[in-house]
Amino acid sequence: MLVSRIIIPLTFLTPLFFWTLTPSMTATPKEFLLIVSVLVIAVTIIYRLLSKHSISIVYSSLSLPLGLFTLMIIGTIIANPEGRPEALASKGLAFLALAFLAFVISSIRTTSNLTTKITSAILASTTLLSLHALLSLAFLSRSAHLPTYMQDITFTPTGSYLTTLILLLVGLTFAIQELRNSSTFIKNLSAALLIIHTVAIVAIISLMFPGGSLYPSLISYQSSWSIALDALKSLRSLLFGIGLSNFSLLYTSVKPLSINLSPLWNALPTTATSELLTLLPTTGILPTFSFLFLIVRGLTWTRGTQLALPFILLSLAFLTLPITLPVYLLIFLFLALSAPPRHDTPAHLSITQSRLLAGLILVFSLFILVNSARSYASEYLIKNAQNALKAENSQKVYDLHLQAIRLSPSISNYHLSFAEINFRLASALSQKQDLTDKDRETISKLVQQSISSSKTAISLRPNSATNWAALGSIYQNLINIAEGSDKFALEAFTRAISLDRANPSLRVEYASLLTQLASTQKNASDKANLISNAKNEFQIAIQLKADYANGYYNLAKLYESEADYSSAVAAMQQVVNYLDNTTTEHAKAVSELETLKSKLPSTPSPTPTQPSDSTQDAERELSEPSPLPSPLPGGPIEVK
């Protein structure tokens, strides 16, 4: 049957398929492959309905719980408008496609060896993954003849070595099962595959320990649980979550302070450590419990079959690790293959009924097609824009961003990127000698477009601290160039901090803005007030992250500007303590500390202390606020 001929290649290719056509080399192509497969299957069903006016459906035990899960996912997408376009371009659409695929498989399961063919496809795919992992970890990642992305030891076709490890464990179980095959050839082949899988698994795990090159950067289970609980405090988010694509927004708003003492203190994760703890806050208890019910039923259905141990592994992965599309695909496949049938009911439809059902499937297919086509085309344009940026082709970068936004006007990241491009172009043009009136007009237009794009990004994702901070940075860089920029910058950064209160680096950015503004004040009272506020923000930053060297450094500089050398020395001493003494930043800090000490009255110098073990993840670079831009010839430009 044509459907099985689509499902088997999909199973084999999904873990392996990647490309360089979009910014995401692994996730986007896998989603594309799934969507194309589902569309082809849908067209096949439509053709069957319109040509034969009948369809044979196997009503399985999967139908009802799968239908409930699908309705819950649709409900969560509808209930959360913020981030809905991003959800429909990725995880949300993938869930709907997987549910449709599972229903179709459970309905056409008249082919007795479909399970065998799918498990063989999985074993073949994981064998190739094993070989790639062994070759990459051994020498491919050090080969200068390969593309740059393949020289990264963390690269794997699945997109994550955690996903690769899960799939290899599943493949290992199938290889073990094939050892009982009556064919000597199959036994020998299975033994060889067993060895390959085992060696690859051991190699990967050995590099996943702390300090290893494949050590996963994940927030702790305790932090993940805390974040999930915070998301479920309101009835609405309890039932429908905060949105499939909004985990990072939730993370910034409720991040536990303990994370600031970890290597992930300045990261913005998009998932929790456990997929369960990602699904729970982003979709709510209804979709999560409906999926857990599917898992429990799957454990029952697969008991005593060749899918039993693999499904247990997949279930444990869902509960304890972040998982991606290849793992979700296997979960839905195994559910569809193992669900017991109830009865086979050929439905003989009239021409009208056939056309109606075909029309419904067609509408679903067109929705998927249009949504996916625009999304993938936009991603392709953004990738080309990134390549043009590397080639320093500013006009092409601008044009490609504009095309991407026209195709997908509801994706906030595109507007944010376009805002940055416009500001870069305006900044570059402002450096030109002897600006003409046309140049000033162009600069004004680019600046206004930059601000407008940032505001559009904010209107699409109003709870994104990143968007507000980006707008604040743009206004900050327009001080002395555009009237009112200082006020707008303060407002934007204040809003960003309200959405990401535990971010020490954002506090330093805001304090740096206050310091810059203080340097422009003629009124002594206003200047003192700004300096006091800046000092307070620097102190909050180092309270949030006790080993934040850059926070201490900027505080030391602020004390130095006030001639408070005693406080400056104390702050700079902390910088020295918290920096790796083998870095140039440490040498710079030591030199500046000695300079500050020379300005002190003749008193005993503070005794240096050695950094503790917890300081190894402190920020390595020290930075001061950049000077405010010089006014443009001809006076300030207008901004809104």
What are the boundaries of each domain within the chain? 2-367
- Residues facing 341 on adjacent strands: 60
Average pLDDT over residues 502-515: 95
Q: What is the pLDDT of residue 47?
A: 87
Report the C-alpha gap between 604 and 619 in whole angstroms: 29
Report the C-alpha gap between 8 and 99 in whole angstroms: 17
Q: What is the pLDDT of residue 612?
A: 44
Question: Is residue 545 a contact partner of residue 260, using CB atoms and an 8 Å limit?
Answer: yes
Q: Is 506 exposed, middle or buried (0-12, 13-18, 19+ CB in 10 A)?
A: buried
> Average pLDDT of the chain?
90
Segment among 93-102, 611-620, 630-639 with least mean pLDDT = 611-620
Nearest to 287 by CA among 116, 475, 537, 70: 70
Residue 623 CB partners (closer than 8 Å, separation 6+): 550, 553, 554
User: SS3 letters for 69-107?
Assistant: HHHHHHHHHHHCCCCHHHHHCCHHHHHHHHHHHHHHHHH
- Segment 232-252, tens digit of pLDDT: 999 999 999 999 999 999 999
Residue 262 CB partners (closer than 8 Å, separation 6+): 219, 220, 617
Average pLDDT over residues 87-116: 86
Q: What is the pLDDT of residue 34?
A: 97
Report the C-alpha gap between 525 and 520 in whole angstroms: 13
Average pLDDT over residues 372-400: 94
Structural tokens at position 394: 């500013």
Give me the count of residues in the chain. Answer: 640
Angle at 553 between CA 547 and CA 557, to 5 degrees: 155
pTM score: 0.91
Q: Is the pLDDT of residue 480 over 70?
A: yes
406 vs 342, residue with greater confidence: 406
Average pLDDT over residues 362-372: 90
3 vs 447, residue with greater confidence: 447
Could you tell me the end-to-end alpha-carbon distance of the chain, in angstroms, rounded to an integer? 61
Average pLDDT over residues 418-444: 88
Q: Is the pLDDT of residue 611 over 50?
A: no
Q: Which amino acid is at 71?
A: L
Q: What is the pLDDT of residue 511?
A: 95
Name the percent of the chain lying above pLDDT 90. Answer: 72
Report the C-alpha gap between 513 and 507 in whole angstroms: 10
Strand intervals (E) in 300-455: 341-348
Q: What is the pLDDT of residue 162?
A: 97
Report the C-alpha gap between 565 and 556 in whole angstroms: 8
Segment among 9-13, 55-59, 184-188 with least mean pLDDT = 55-59
Q: Is 596 exposed, middle or buried (0-12, 13-18, 19+ CB in 10 A)?
A: buried
Residue 622 CB partners (closer than 8 Å, separation 6+): 549, 550, 553, 575, 579, 585, 588, 589
Question: Is residue 538 a contact partner of residue 549, using CB atoms and an 8 Å limit?
Answer: no
pLDDT category, 478, cuts 50, 70, 90? Answer: confident
- Segment 179-208, tens digit of pLDDT: 987 788 999 999 999 999 999 999 999 999
Name the percent of the chain lying above pLDDT 70. Answer: 91
Q: Is the pLDDT of residue 223 over 90?
A: yes
Q: Is the pLDDT of residue 590 over 80?
A: yes
Q: What is the pLDDT of residue 624?
A: 64
The helices-and-strands tally (H runs, E runs) of the chain is 26, 2
Q: What is the pLDDT of residue 617?
A: 45
Report the C-alpha gap between 58 and 345 in whole angstroms: 7
Residue 98 CB partners (closer than 8 Å, separation 6+): 34, 328, 329, 332
Average pLDDT over residues 39-44: 92
- Segment 546-581, tens digit of pLDDT: 999 999 999 999 999 999 999 999 999 999 999 988
Q: Is the pLDDT of residue 481 over 90?
A: no
